Amino acid sequence: MDKIHLLSKISIFHELPVEALQALDSLTLTKHVQKGDVFLSPDDNINTLYLLKKGQVRLYQLNAVGKQFTVDILGSGNVLSEASALSEQKNFLYAEAMTDTMLCVLSKHDFKKFMSNHPEVAFQFITLLTKRLNDVYIMSQKIALEDVKYRILYLLLRFAESPSDKEWAKIRYRLRHQDIATMIGATRETVSNTMSQLKKEHLIKSGMSLYIHTYKVHHLLETRGISS
């Protein structure tokens, strides 16, 4: 698949005409990273924007004793290292490729210039970042106020594929219990325990991938007065 087509799949560039995509294409470099590679660290002084063309990336932080906190998992069409690309802030997250991943790299200078020529991109960008910020706000509220069971359910709802007219919604990422644990501030064992409990309650099921019973879960959260 050609690069320009892939660029159009990046959500903030969705609506751009072909000429604009071609102009953008000439400004970017393609980078491949393998599954498991940590390709960004807090100490990196990068000054670039990464466009995630293909793959799955986990953003996380480390504390002094090496425990991880996963801030977000991003799929194709997303952007990362926006703090370094937009402001004078340093990158403060680790980025790990959860699958083999293809990225486009765009310098801060070129990105700013491109945005001023295409204000609609700036608007899309703000929309995307605001949505992500909201997700993090809500997750921190869940971690502070809810039990592990409801933190997991909230997380899975967030990662469930959207056309959920079916009873069971598929979870869009391949998540290990370890990944879930680092996102909700619990141990892997507690996640395992809680997940098997949720299976017994028929709120989730696993086959080739993980599924969540959106109707039951929404109902459960409502009756408990938890916003979802």
Q: How many helices (H) and strands (E) does the chain have?
A: 9, 11
Q: Which of 140, 120, 117, 124 is nearest to 51 (CA)?
A: 124
In the complex, the smallest distance separating the C-beta of residue 100 from DNA, rounded to whole angstroms, is 12
> Nearer Cβ to DNA, position 48 or 56?
56
CB of 186 to DNA, least distance (A): 4
Q: Please, what is the minimum distance in Å from the beta carbon of residue 1 to DNA?
A: 24
Residue 9: CB minimum distance to DNA, A: 26
* Site of interaction with DNA (CB under 7 A): 147-149, 176-178, 185-190, 192-196
Q: Are 15 and 124 in contact (CB under 8 A)?
A: yes
> Scanning the structure block, which residue is given the tokens 């000054």?
47
Question: Which C-beta is closer to DNA: that of 11 or that of 187?
Answer: 187
What does DSSP assign to residue 89?
A: P
What is the enclosing helix (H) or strand (E) of 200?
A: helix 188-200
Nearer residue to DNA within complex by CB, 81 or 194: 194
Residue among 11, 80, 24, 72 nearest 51 (CA): 80
Whole-number Å distance between alpha carbons of 182 and 134:
19
Please, which residue, 82 or 179, has the CB nearer to DNA?
A: 179
**Judged by CB, which is closer to DNA: 73, or 186?**
186
What is the closest distance, in whole angstroms, from the C-beta atom of residue 221 to DNA in the complex? 15
CB 175 within 8 A of CB 70: no
